[in-house]
Structures are given as C-alpha cells and as structure tokens.
C-alpha cells in the first residue's frame, strides 16, 4: 500500500472523530479571519445557561486546516459521559502557522532566564480569539460566571496571557507546560482559580516557568494548585487530561 493511499484512507477516519465539532470561520470588522471549531451542548434548554471552555492548542497544531487544533484535548469534551454530565460550549480556535498565541512573534528561545515580555501587545490571533469569545457570549446562552480557559505549551502561555489581559473574564484557567513573565501575575486574590500542570523532565518548556508562576500566584493570594509529573517530558497534557478529576474540577469552578 502506498503512503498516499494510506493517508487517503486515514484522513476520513481522523476527521470522523471530530465531526461533532462545527468547522467555522470568524471574520472581524477589519476583515481578518480566525478558523475555529465549536462544540455545543447536545440539548440547549430554554432559559438555561451553559459554561464555555476556550481551548488554546500548542505550536505543533498551528495551520490553516481547521482540524489540527483538535488533536489534543478535543475528545475529552465529546466523550459521551462527559458531554452528558458537563454540557458546555467549547471553542478550539486555530493559530496560523506563522503566528503565536501569547506574543506577536515566538520568543527566541526558552532556555534563557525568562524569555517572556512584560508589556508585549496582544497577538493578532489572540485578539481575534477575544473578539470571537465576545461574539459567542452575546449569541448563545453562556453562563458568564463559568467561562474557562485551557491551553497547552504555546497555548499554556496564551492561557496565562489571556487571564492577565482580561482578569475578570475567566472563572478558571488550566495552563499546561506554559509560562509567563511573572511580574504580570498580580492582584489575583479573588478572581480566577488556577490549576497548573508541568512535567519535570520537559526539554522544550522548562519546568521552572510553571514553578515560578505558581509561587508568584501563591504569594499574590490566588486560588492556585500546581501539579508536577515526575519524569514526564513535554507531553504533560496527556497525564493532565487523564486525571479522573480534570473535568470535575474545571466545571465546578465559578467566578469569584
């Protein structure tokens, strides 16, 4: 069997597992576009409001196919048991291949002391994501006391960035193997609940970034928990998402 034929056979199967997510495009008033996937509750009851989860993917899932961003984490929300127990709107925007979530351009490297800027302007894809989020909140019955953000690697950095830029928006944030300039983490004593994950053997994004963020948030009086996986490398999202309390912890959070 040729490689081309094999890929041709695998592509429909790969797509089928994500078919519950609608493939959509957000277009701003300025004409900029953002590809995204959206999952709605199975049944939307009149007069009822539902939580919303914003998921930011990693650098490896950037592109323009509007499907790669679903490779990690998306199936948690379509799992039949989870979908019945935790009905929610779920958004998976896709960052273009040449751009980056937390900053207008990718930092030169992650092995320096702290490569994250303190006062960078918001990146275009993240600004479009915020516009999309506002539109969804206006259009659908979203419970604004239960808006959550989850991100891994580049998306974990974007998660920190979004919470810092919009500190009154999210009830909970789960940055996985991310990082941020810790001087931006201030005055979180009564706002977002954080749950931070990282593998201590991560060769891509040093574990110290999450440790430093945890210590700073703790010092600021934030509601924060840090879970470190011994011996785990960059793929710390796998043990994080497989925790039996991952979904229950997320959906029990309410804006403080």
Q: 3-state class of 51 per DSSP? A: strand
CB 21 within 8 A of CB 39: yes
**Which DSSP state fits 150?**
E
The domain 19-252 having CATH identifier 3.40.50.1820: the answer here is: yes
Question: What DSSP string describes 52-82?
Answer: EEEEE--GGG-SSSSSGGGTTTHHHHHSHHH
- 109: tokens are 């490297």
Cα within 13 Å of Cα(115), Cβ side = 18
Q: 3-state class of 208 per DSSP? A: helix
Ranges of each domain in the chain:
19-252
Helix (H) or strand (E) holding 39: strand 33-39
Residue 58 to residues 20, 55, 131, 201: CA-CA distances in angstroms? 21, 10, 20, 18
- Pairwise CA distance, residues 103 & 225, whole Å: 25
pLDDT tens, per residue, the chain with 256 residues: 454 454 444 455 566 789 999 999 999 999 999 999 999 999 999 999 999 999 999 999 999 999 999 999 999 999 999 999 999 999 999 999 999 999 877 776 676 667 888 988 999 999 999 999 999 999 999 999 999 999 999 999 999 999 999 999 999 999 999 999 999 998 776 689 999 999 999 999 999 999 999 999 999 999 999 999 999 999 999 999 999 999 999 999 999 7
Question: 138: buried, middle or exposed (CB in 10 Å: 19+, 13-18, 0-12)?
Answer: exposed
Q: 3-state class of 142 per DSSP? A: strand
CB 200 within 8 A of CB 170: no
* pLDDT of 189: 67
């Amino acid at each position: 069997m040729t490689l081309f034929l094999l890929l041709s056979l695998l592509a429909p199967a790969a797509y089928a597992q994500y078919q519950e997510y609608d493939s959509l495009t957000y277009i701003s008033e300025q004409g900029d576009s953002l590809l995204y996937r959206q999952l709605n509750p199975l049944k939307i009851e009149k007069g009822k409001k539902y939580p919303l989860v914003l998921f930011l993917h990693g650098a490896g899932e950037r592109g323009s196919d509007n499907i790669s961003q679903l490779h990690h984490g998306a199936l948690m929300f379509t799992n039949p048991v989870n979908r019945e127990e935790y009905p929610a709107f779920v958004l998976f925007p896709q960052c273009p291949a040449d751009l980056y979530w937390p900053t207008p351009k990718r930092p030169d490297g992650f092995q320096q002391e702290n490569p994250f800027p303190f006062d960078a302007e918001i990146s275009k894809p993240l600004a479009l994501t915020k516009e999309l989020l506002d539109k969804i909140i206006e259009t659908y019955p979203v419970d604004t006391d239960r808006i959550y953000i989850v991100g891994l690697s580049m998306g974990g950095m974007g998660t920190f960035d979004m919470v810092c830029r919009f500190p009154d928006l999210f009830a909970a944030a789960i940055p996985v193997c991310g990082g941020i300039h810790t001087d931006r983490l201030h005055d979180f004593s009564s706002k977002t609940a954080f749950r931070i994950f990282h593998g201590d053997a991560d060769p891509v994004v040093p574990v110290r970034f999450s440790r430093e963020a945890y210590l700073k948030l703790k010092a600021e009086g934030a509601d924060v928990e840090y879970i470190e996986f011994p011996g785990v490398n960059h793929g710390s999202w796998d043990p994080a998402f497989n925790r039996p309390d991952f979904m229950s912890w997320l959906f029990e959070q309410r804006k403080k």
